[in-house]
Chain A
Amino acid sequence: MSGDEPAVALRDLGRAYGERVALSGVTLTLARGRTLAVFGANGAGKTTLLRVLATLLRPHAGSVSVLGRALPGEGWAVRGRIGLVGHEPLLYRDLTAAENLRFHARLHDVGGGRVDELLGAVGMARRADEPVRALSRGMAQRVAICRALLHAPDLLLLDEPLANLDPGAAGAVAPLIGRDAGLTRVLISHDVDRGLAEADVVLGLRAGRPVLVAEDAAAVSARDVRELYA
């Protein structure tokens, strides 16, 4: 696999839940090291797109290639190379933050030192031994970000990663998942200005259809994006 293959390449991607079409005809390419921002109202298919890229949902139509591997056939080859921060933190509520991360570290065959390092980086070292159910949503979100970064993923999928985070915490995670981290990212955001500032490529969805596809985010104005929500 050569390094200059795109991180994500979609052609006519479609996905339905029964008769309800959640995504259709999505075509785009995302080069490595760049960021795709996905905008759209609730139910527009953003989360579905993210789950397809995370190998958690099968595509129904078109072709999907992630990190040079075709999904769903070669899903096994990209597992462990993708990090996901979703709506749900994907943490066990009765385990502590550190235990959750150590569990995932073992699944990904990562050393335990990385856990402490990341918890310190997001300012959670002091609360690491409290069960997740005792943490506030913002704190759980920070732990979830650690979980997604544990195995140093090649592709980071972020579904409103800054939701529930106070400005201080947002500042703390910025070096890890922000533009300066240099990661390939797919970012879902409702904050149009901030999303655009982070983006290289923009995708706007309405009712599962791509109504705005721009290879250059600089050419997209905030007004175009806001129209998606009208």
Chain B
Amino acid sequence: MRRAVSALVRKDLRVELRTGEAVPAMLLFSISTFVLFHFALDRRSVDGQLAAGVLWVTLLFAAVLAMGRLFVAEREQGGFDGFLMAPVDRTALLVAKAAVLLCFLVAVELAAVPAFAILLLGPSPWAVLPQLCAVLALADVGVAVVGTLVGALGIQTRTRELIVPILALPLMIPVAIAAARATAPLLVEAGAGGLPGRWLAVLALYDLVFGLLAYAVFDYLLDD
């Protein structure tokens, strides 16, 4: 299992490094969205709940871009067939793809969050960086798992580019609620409030439920 997961992850990361398909697009998308928000909201800076909302909507939309691409090479270049004939557990593909998506999200956030802080955010986020990272990490795990599931559902269809967003957005609403509520007190102008543990618990619950769910149903998506 570990051997297969590492082979799959390394393969995907190598392709991404070589072609640069997903991460640069996601990053550009995020920064353009920040600019768009600046004009649409007509604000020089945002803080509090508004800042949290802008940040999370942008990150979640950017994640949707990667979900649609996640399994394209497997379907179009025969990766599924090659994987399915190998003597490895099919869950390895779920774990590997979720890990790859997680890597993409982290890579995008490493650049997008500083960009957000520079372009749009009023209060300085550096003081609350550890708490912010905790929220980002918990939310990313959930988005990665759900995104893998949605990507695998979407790749079965002929209209992947339509199905993936309309499936992913409602499924990610709990993440949006919890992550934005958890981030909001960190980004207030008057000085950061505490990190609300309740919302971290919701995020953790979300990760757990969808993790187990994906583990239970993923095999069936590969089974012709």
Chain A contact residues, CB within 8 Å of chain B:
51, 54-58, 76, 79-82, 84, 86, 88-95, 99, 103-104, 106-109, 131, 147
- By the criterion CB–CB under 8 Å, are A104 and B15 in contact? no
A107 to B11, alpha carbons, bound, how many Å?
A: 11
**Chain B residues with CB under 8 A of A86:** 78, 81
- By the criterion CB–CB under 8 Å, are A92 and B224 in contact? no
A107 to B96, alpha carbons, bound, how many Å?
A: 13
- By the criterion CB–CB under 8 Å, are B77 and A91 in contact? yes
- By the criterion CB–CB under 8 Å, are B224 and A107 in contact? no
- By the criterion CB–CB under 8 Å, are B78 and A107 in contact? no
**Chain B residues with CB under 8 A of A94:** 15, 18-19, 73
Name the one of B15, B19, B85 contacting A82, with C-beta atoms under 8 angstroms.
B85
Where chain A touches its partner, the secondary structure class is: loop
8 A-B pairs besides A92-B15, A108-B87 with CB distance below 8 A are A51-B224, A55-B85, A56-B84, A79-B84, A80-B87, A84-B81, A90-B77, A106-B7
Given contacts A89-B78, A106-B4, are A99 and B14 in contact (CB under 8 A)?
yes
**Chain B residues with CB under 8 A of A103:** 7, 10-11
Interface-centre pick from A80, A89, A91, A107 (highest chain B CB count, 10 A): A107
Closest to A131 in B: B18
Name the one of A58, A76, A90 contacting B81, with C-beta atoms under 8 angstroms.
A90
> Does B158 reach chain A (CB closer than 8 Å)?
no
A72 to B37, alpha carbons, bound, how many Å?
A: 53
- By the criterion CB–CB under 8 Å, are A107 and B83 in contact? yes
**Chain B residues with CB under 8 A of A92:** 11, 15, 73, 77, 79
Number of interface residues of B (CB under 8 A): 24
**Chain B residues with CB under 8 A of A107:** 3-4, 7, 82-83, 86, 88
- By the criterion CB–CB under 8 Å, are A91 and B78 in contact? yes
Name the one of A95, A108, A131, A147 contacting B11, with C-beta atoms under 8 angstroms.
A95
Name the one of B6, B10, B18, B86 contacting A108, with C-beta atoms under 8 angstroms.
B86
**Chain B residues with CB under 8 A of A56:** 81, 84-85, 224
Name the one of B10, B14, B86 contacting A104, with C-beta atoms under 8 angstroms.
B86
**Chain B residues with CB under 8 A of A106:** 3-4, 6-7
> Does B223 reach chain A (CB closer than 8 Å)?
yes
A79 to B86, alpha carbons, bound, how many Å?
A: 6
- By the criterion CB–CB under 8 Å, are B86 and A95 in contact? no
The smallest C-beta distance from A156 to any residue of chain B, in angstroms, reads 12
- By the criterion CB–CB under 8 Å, are B86 and A80 in contact? yes
- By the criterion CB–CB under 8 Å, are A88 and B78 in contact? yes
Which B residues from 61 to 108 make CB contacts under 8 A with A? 73, 77-79, 81-88
22 inter-chain pairs at a CB distance below 8 angstroms, sorted by A residue, are A57-B224, A58-B223, A58-B224, A79-B84, A79-B88, A80-B87, A81-B87, A84-B85, A88-B78, A90-B77, A92-B15, A92-B79, A95-B14, A103-B7, A104-B82, A104-B86, A106-B4, A107-B82, A107-B83, A107-B86, A109-B87, A131-B18
